[in-house]
């Protein structure tokens, strides 16, 4: 089933100028870029995006990190997009990620791990709407 998901190239990867390499890797893995932006969130916006983690001990650090520089949110499309993106990204901790995954190649540590990806259809719908509200996204094809 063709599916859409959201990924974010995080501030650490943007700062290191890895955006193009990560995009190329995603396209090589069969993803089609449906929508893309370059922006910088403030801490309040980051807090809204990561509200599901509000009670977790890492929430404040995560919001500060995600608002520390430019990010690149991207809507991707392909067969089984959510699960496939999770495999391509690799484990959250780059030290534990499989060789060749985005986090292994571009992540520095568990907090600066280069990329975010939606983990379920409901999450993907919320996340796509957060960064692309009211935007009509082109259909597959």
Residue-by-residue pLDDT tens, the chain, 141 positions: 999 999 999 999 999 999 999 999 999 999 999 999 999 999 999 999 999 999 999 999 999 999 999 999 999 999 999 999 999 999 999 999 999 999 999 999 999 999 999 999 999 999 999 999 876 654 444
- Supply the pLDDT for residue 140: 46
- Confirm whether 20 is domain-assigned: yes
- Supply the pLDDT for residue 12: 98
Q: d(Cα 102, Cα 111) in Å, to the nearest integer?
A: 14
Catalytic residues: 116
At 21, which CATH number? 3.30.70.141
* Cβ pair 67, 43 in contact under 8 A: yes
Strand-pairing partners, residue 43, are: none
Strand order of the sheet with strand 115-117? 32-36, 72-79, 2-9, 115-117
- Supply the pLDDT for residue 71: 98
- Confirm whether 110 is domain-assigned: yes
Q: Which domain holds residue 10?
A: 2-34+73-131
Write the burial class of residue 139 (CB in 10 Å: 0-12 exposed, 13-18 middle, 19+ buried): exposed
Look at the chain and report how many structural domains it folds into.
1
pTM of model > 0.75: yes
- Confirm whether 112 is domain-assigned: yes
- Confirm whether 95 is domain-assigned: yes
- Supply the pLDDT for residue 134: 76
- Confirm whether 119 is domain-assigned: yes
Q: d(Cα 102, Cα 136) in Å, to the nearest integer?
A: 29
- Confirm whether 48 is domain-assigned: no
- Supply the pLDDT for residue 141: 44
- Supply the pLDDT for residue 136: 60
């Amino acid at each position: 089933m063709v599916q859409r998901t959201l990924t974010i190239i995080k501030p650490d990867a943007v700062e290191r100028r890895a955006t193009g390499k990560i995009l190329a890797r995603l396209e090589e893995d069969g993803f089609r870029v449906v929508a893309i932006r370059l922006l910088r969130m403030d801490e309040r916006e980051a807090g809204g995006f990561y509200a599901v983690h509000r009670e977790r001990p890492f929430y404040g650090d995560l919001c500060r990190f995600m608002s520390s520089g430019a990010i690149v949110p991207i809507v991707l499309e392909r067969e089984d997009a959510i699960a496939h993106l999770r495999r391509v990204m690799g484990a959250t901790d780059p030290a534990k990620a499989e060789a060749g995954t985005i986090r292994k190649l571009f992540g520095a540590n568990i907090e600066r791990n280069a990329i975010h990806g939606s983990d379920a259809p409901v999450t993907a719908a919320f996340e796509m709407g957060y960064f692309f509200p009211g935007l009509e996204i082109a259909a597959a094809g």
